[in-house]
Chains A and B, each alone.
Chain A
Amino acid sequence: MLELWSPATRHGLWRRLWLALAEAQRELGVAIPEEAIRQMRANLDKIDFDAVAAYEKRFRHDVMAHVHAFGDVAPAAKPFIHLGATRAYVTDNADLILMRRGLDLLRGRVLDVLRSLTAFAEQWRDQPTLGYTHLQPAQLTTVGKRATLWMQDLVLDIADIDYRRRTLPFRGVKGTTGTQASFLELFEGDHEKVRRLDQLVTERVSFPASLPVTGQTYTRKLDAFVLSVVAGVAASAAKFSGDIRMLQSFGEIEEPFESEQVGSSAMAYKRNPMRAERIASLARFVNSLEGNANQTHAVQYFERTLDDSANRRLVIPEMFLATDAILLLMANISRGLEVHPAVIGRRVAAELPFMATEQLIVRAVLAGGDRQVAHETIRKHSLAAARALKDGADSNDLLERLSKDKSFGVKLKDLEGAIDPKRFVGRAPEQVDEFLRDVVTPLFAGETARPGRPDELRV
């Protein structure tokens, strides 16, 4: 992702766009010699950035500096480079290509995360764990089922990425204020050739279409569309990171911790969820920028104003780079999650007897009891057991209290049989299986995992 937003990539794209323009103009009859095309092709990536800097100092114009530096190495093409075009021809079209490739890179990263979480969800598909609503223990779910909630968010993000990727239009060949006047001049009033030029260049860079109309720039709404998808990915990761941080606080699940990692400079025993916290940190940064793109669009006046420029140069690359880092962190955490079933089991055991009211009533009635009486007995003992826990009891003794209460009439062994945690997880394991089979696995078809070892975490 760093390479994508590098000057070498961006300005290599400018040169490709100048080549595409010259090739298409030549095809439509402009007298550009074959040698000019050949020289442009041969120098697409040989960019002398010192020469560019020297030109830019003279001209105070980055695009013209690059035009001249390109012309120096492709002298036969010099008279034709940028013919009829305005700066937005290279800058805007290159931005669209970069954003499209950025979406492709993010998509690959999201799939990496999904691969790791798939293995995790499979392994823990039927491990009962406390489910929470209002951050209070509710009913049980499974560790794997909870992972599918994180995964589904990413699957939805992929659908959004794919839609944007597929439909993102090109700015195309439109001229200074979007009227194509200079090109109409170039083709001596032949409207059809001007239309064809726009189409030919668009086809060459494999965009489905160019915007039908533009001002000088493409509408900045496109930035807002794309960046909203990027921000959506960051938000999904932030939700995941919040859950991990709390699970680590409970001691149930921890993010990976290297053998020599230091948790705290002072508190040597500490093991902090610092990677998940870093996701939260970066995701807040990304999400704070999402609205920026719409604001930039909103304050563009008439055919364009330049107050978009410096802002976009920061916002677009930084949102992509930060989200790339977020996904690297998320993949790293997902691969190394440490699950502690003993802690999970203990926390389930402390709550489960309370959740099992219905099952316990059924046992009492089957043993000859009265439903209404059983309910009252449970209510009374539940409150007492909860009180005892809050006052320092080691464990939830509701079942023992019930077994000793003659009015309830069920043996402790039978009561314990009624509260096997696996009986309280509903279809969670099956939902995991179905979700992985029907929704996630198809996404991997036709995709090969990245070769070699996973990316080293450097963020």
Chain B
Amino acid sequence: MLMQTSALPLTPFRRGKVRDVYEVDADRLLLVATDRVSAFDVVMSETIPHKGAVLTQITAWWLRQLEDKVEHHMLSGNTAEIVREVPQLRDHEQELAGRAMLCRRSTVFPVECVVRGYLSGSAWKEYRERGTLAGEALSKGLRESDRLDPPIFSPATKADEGHDENITVDRMRTLIGDSWAGELERLSREIYEAGRAIAARRGIIIADTKFEFGRARSTGGEGVEKVILVDEVLTPDSSRFWPADSYEPGHGQPSFDKQPLRDYLDAEKRAGRWDGNYPPPRLPKDVIEATSERYLDIFRRLTGHSLDPNGSH
């Protein structure tokens, strides 16, 4: 039931709405995913059991699947192992179980690499209004939620305030240089397409996703900076997950993970019991459980086995 982790004996590095990052030492960071959940831009008062562990372990699983395609930042996603590496965490093993990832530090590129394999969300909105995506013309007559082949790469800047701002690929080249930009686009497409194919065979459509990359000295230590994949990877928080069995283009799709939560909040809004502002309604037990079960289900479907609460598979 972890809401926040300020009790950890490490220096906080960055705090997000649902994830905290701590400095371990000059070379390593600890990423901790909480069970907090937001919907309609409002953070709920309740937590979703197992959500943090599911997000962390899905990332760990993907990074292992993708190891032949890209270097990544994970040193360990196994809490027992992490506590052995970072002994000052030994009193916190219980609360960190499954949700912590020990990572190597890198210089993170100031762009978010978004890949869209289906036309949805803000991309659909732009296409409907102007027939373009990320400023580039798309073929005519596409419907909402239609599959895009090849997927479209649409980078964004990381805004400190509010929502990220979409930028063109040209702008990204100016920001980080031609060669890095090319490498990030190539990797983003390759990883997304591999992930989309794997998830599709397991009943999940990954409609779009966001990657972040950093640069670091290669693990071989020869001193050449290489691109490494950082942050969370192909999780329901960094991507849009749709159930494949009910997929039907022409309208919006249900969210694999948050639909029970959204349905409940929608009903509260329609009934006039919630105006969309703080405080959000209290979530009933069955909504919390249904949402939690969705996260566990995603984990089972992707990996083929149940979530190990210690993250030690």
Contact = CB atoms under 8 A, between A and B. Distances in A.
Interface residues of A, number: 27
A192 B11 CA distance: 9
Interface string B269-289: 000000001110010000000
Nearest to B36: A203
B43 A208 contact: no
Nearest to A187: B6
Nearest to B282: A41
Contacts of B160: 208-209
B15 interface: yes
B45 interface: yes
A244 interface: no
A23 B160 CA distance: 25
Interface in A152-202: 166-167, 169, 190, 192-193, 196, 199-200
B67 interface: no
A407 interface: no
A223 B129 CA distance: 34
Interface residues of B, number: 22
Interface stretch (A245-253, A305-313, A440-448): A440-448
Prevailing SS type, chain A contact patch: helix
Contact of A27 (B3, B12, B17, B41): B3
A233 B129 CA distance: 26
Contact of A203 (B43, B277, B282): B43
B125 A446 contact: yes
B4 interface: yes
Interface in B184-204: none
Contact of B129 (A20, A205, A206, A441): A441
A445 B162 contact: no
Contacts of B130: 442
Interface string B6-29: 100000100101000000000000
A166 B41 CA distance: 13
Contact of B6 (A192, A206, A441): A192
Interface string A428-459: 00000000000001100110000000000000
Contact of A204 (B12, B161, B279): B279
A206 B4 contact: no
Contacts of B6: 28, 190, 192-193, 196
A92 B192 CA distance: 46
A19 interface: yes
Contacts of B301: none
B125 A196 contact: no
Given A166-B161, A167-B161, A41 B279 contact: yes
B135 to A, nearest CB: 13
A167 B41 CA distance: 15
B15 A167 contact: no
Interface of B: 3-4, 6, 12, 15, 17, 41-43, 45, 125, 128-130, 160-163, 277-279, 282
Q: Which 5 A-B pairs give the minimum distances between C-beta atoms?
A: A208-B161, A166-B162, A442-B129, A205-B278, A445-B129
Given A166-B162, A445-B125, A445-B129, 6 more contacts: A16-B279, A28-B4, A169-B161, A196-B15, A208-B160, A442-B129
